[in-house]
Structure 1
Amino acid sequence: MLRSLSSITRIGRVSRPWVRLSSTKVPFDTEPFPFSRFEPCCSDQAEQPMENGFVQCAKHPIPKVIGKKVDMTTELRKYDRSRQLLVCVGEDAPEWHRAKVESVKDGLIHRLQEEHKTWLLQGNKSTNPAILLTTACERPSSSSSEWPKCDILMLPEFRRFPAVDPASLTSSSPFIKTMQALWKDPTTQDLPDPGIPYESMDDVDTLVLVCTHTMRDKRCGILGPLIVDEFRKVLEEKNLLTTKGGKVEVWGVSHFGGHVFAGNVIIHQKGLGGHAYGNVRACHVPSIVDRHIVHGKVIKELWRGAVTNP
């Protein structure tokens, strides 16, 4: 249900202070994950391993030219994020045709970046090293809106701001005041009224986000859609997708760092927060669904850090 401005609550207002989630507090699975990084479930015996260690999978094959460019030995770089904004541009938006989604003029991400630049030029700066992660998402926006109007999802709050119009965003608009508070400190709980209605996503408790950004990097562009398809297949079989009466959605998103560690996945789950994984293959998806989504356990072997707190 959309909240009117008269009844809106400041986003994320809680009584406790925000504390960055350390790895010692992450609910890692105590059972070993059945696969190492980028390991296939069914090694193709007819194929020789590549120099980087890539082994083809007989059940889930991927182009060798892609597999040999994946780094599966360097330590996985960890995230230092505290919130994520998903700009729901849909599947066919201009953003997908650019390596940098923020370069599309008149787009919502471009508008937010321009306002951020203006804010910095005015002498403002961040007081917290944590980063606000903003990505394009193929999730469709409200049926009544057309690009460049897009829904914005704010995580970990699981809030949807429907059909935000880039043309309405100026330095004096309430939503930009909210963004300024996040640019200053992405961990803040003291956010001003955004000035537009929002919807609590009560029908969704888990968002699976997979980098599918072909124009940024072919590794994610090839591996990402395979992983998206496998997640949807496995989740559909378990009746966990929202389309089957469940509360899980799976979407492709733009680049969020570390394409050398493709496939890259972020899972946001209410009560567990957002967690990033690297070197994921379609082979791993059934186990990730079982361990992380069903049982709420984070997989240490593939973990790239916490993207948001619970």
Structure 2
Amino acid sequence: MANVENLSAVPASEDTEFGFKRPEMYSTDIANSITSYGRHVFVLYKTPEAWISHVEEEGLPQRFATLLKDRKSELLVQTKLNVCEGGGSDGDVLIFPDMVRYKGVKDTEVEGFFEDVLVNGKPWRSGRQEKLSGTFVFVCTHTSRDKRCGVCGPVILERFKQEVGSRGLSDQISLRRCSHVGQHKYAGNIIIFSPDSAGKISGNWYGYVTPEDVPELLDQHIAKGEIIQRIWRGQMGLPGGVAEKEHEQKVIPNGNRAAEEFTGGCCQGSNGVSCCQDENPKPKPIKKEGKCTKWFQPLDKEEIYIGAAVVGAVATIAMIGYTIFKRSG
């Protein structure tokens, strides 16, 4: 077995500034420090050593990032994008909580893939896909973006590899280095996608993670599904904990979302909050209790004609009566 202390070591010259002994560690309550979202896409691309600071601004990740921004209002659920190490499989795409791996998406295929899978919620027509199983742990090691992640991430990953190997779990837990997940000050940052007791996939974020936390994450979170509150940042899921069926939305043929209450265009706000306004607002009928409600019901054409005749007759009689009254005066 490898020496755990060596795997957990950060050079003293870096530890107090970028590592696990920096003053900002544990200085903030990090619970619920992620925005609500319902789907996470990881694009396999090169290695962390080759990533530029904003890796989503080059190559295949850029194609995905541009479409996510331009077509945000068409997505069925709030979606996050990250890059993870390719390992010889550049172009593969992992999607959670769907637990699906699409193989070898090329630059020229991104738009069709996006339309099929992320907008319409259907399998990719090219069909190169496989079902995923087990647990996936993503560790932010994006050193070109922030040195704290570059210092902490690799050490945490090495401890995971050592612990997973010693427990004989290598075929059940997949470990991957990933790009910036937000809030470098919380490094080490990790995301765990694993099934709960009912088999449903949840995505839990942890921050301020140290190598010493790894055994507990394996024994408590992954093995038992128990959240470790002191380092927990939040969970992938629908806004406000609303039941999933309450957020179902219809998809019309052109791929746009069509909620029952909207007839016009739509824009998607942040944190799952929509800033949509009906382009053609329709006044809602005034409801009244009791028999008076009848006056607000639509009339048939014949009823309108009869009503007009009655009103005209009443007006004529009133005019004659007024004339006779005036003459008699």
TM-score by length of 2: 0.61
Distance in structure 1 (CA, Å) of the matches to 2:155 and 2:237? 25
User: Alignment length, in residue pairs?
Assistant: 224
Within 5 Å, which residues of 2 pair with 1:174-213?
A: 175-178=113-116, 181=119, 191-202=121-132, 204-213=133-142
- Describe the superposition over 1:202-260 as per-residue Cα deviations: whole angstroms up to 9, x where unpaired: 4x310011100001111111000000000010000001012xxxx11111100011111
Within 5 Å, which residues of 2 pair with 1:153-192?
A: 153-170=94-111, 173=112, 175-178=113-116, 181=119, 191-192=121-122
SS at match of 1:176: helix
Question: Compared with structure 1, are the counterparts of its residues 158 and 93 closer, same or farther at alpha carbon in structure 2 (3 Å cutoff)?
Answer: farther
Give the partner amino acid of 1:210: V
1:81 to 2:58 alignment:
no
Distance in structure 1 (CA, Å) of the matches to 2:86 and 2:184? 21
SS at match of 2:98: coil
Distance in structure 1 (CA, Å) of the matches to 2:155 and 2:115? 39
Q: Percent identity?
A: 27
Distance in structure 2 (CA, Å) of the matches to 1:296 and 1:231? 17
Runs of 4+ in 1 over 4 A off after TM superposition: none
Distance in structure 1 (CA, Å) of the matches to 2:94 and 2:168? 24
Question: Compared with structure 1, are the counterparts of its residues 300 and 118 closer, same or farther at alpha carbon in structure 2 (3 Å cutoff)?
Answer: closer
Please name the residue that 2:315 is paired with.
none
- Describe the superposition over 1:104-151 as per-residue Cα deviations: whole angstroms up to 9, x where unpaired: 1xx21101123344436xxxx3688x6311111114254xxxxxx510
Distance in structure 1 (CA, Å) of the matches to 2:44 and 2:114? 18
SS at match of 1:150: coil
SS at match of 1:65: coil
Give the partner amino acid of 2:97: P
Distance in structure 1 (CA, Å) of the matches to 2:114 and 2:193? 24
Please name the residue that 1:136 is paired with.
83
Higher CA-based Rg: 2
- 2:60 and 2:107 in contact (8 A); partners too: yes
Question: Compared with structure 1, are the counterparts of its residues 111 and 233 closer, same or farther at alpha carbon in structure 2 (3 Å cutoff)?
Answer: same
Distance in structure 2 (CA, Å) of the matches to 1:259 and 1:195? 38
Question: Compared with structure 1, are the counterparts of its residues 69 and 163 closer, same or farther at alpha carbon in structure 2 (3 Å cutoff)?
Answer: farther
- Describe the superposition over 1:143-186 as per-residue Cα deviations: whole angstroms up to 9, x where unpaired: xxxxxx5100011111010010012334xx2x1213652xxxxx
Give the partner amino acid of 1:276: W
Structure 1 portions without partners, runs of 5+: 1-41, 43-56, 143-148, 182-189
Aligned with 1:284 (options 210, 213, 216): 213
Question: Compared with structure 1, are the counterparts of its residues 198 and 93 closer, same or farther at alpha carbon in structure 2 (3 Å cutoff)?
Answer: farther
Distance in structure 2 (CA, Å) of the matches to 1:78 and 1:117? 19
SS at match of 1:288: helix
- RMSD over aligned CA atoms reads 2.8
Distance in structure 2 (CA, Å) of the matches to 1:70 and 1:162? 40
Question: Compared with structure 1, are the counterparts of its residues 229 and 201 closer, same or farther at alpha carbon in structure 2 (3 Å cutoff)?
Answer: farther
Deviates more, 1:190-199 or 1:219-228: 190-199
Structure 2 portions without partners, runs of 5+: 239-243, 245-329
SS at match of 1:252: strand
Shift of residue 65, structure 1, vs aligned partner? 1.7
Where relative contact order (Cα < 8 A, 6+ residues apart) is larger, the structure is 1
1:230 to 2:182 alignment:
no
Question: Compared with structure 1, are the counterparts of its residues 236 and 176 closer, same or farther at alpha carbon in structure 2 (3 Å cutoff)?
Answer: same
- 1:156 and 1:308 in contact (8 A); partners too: no
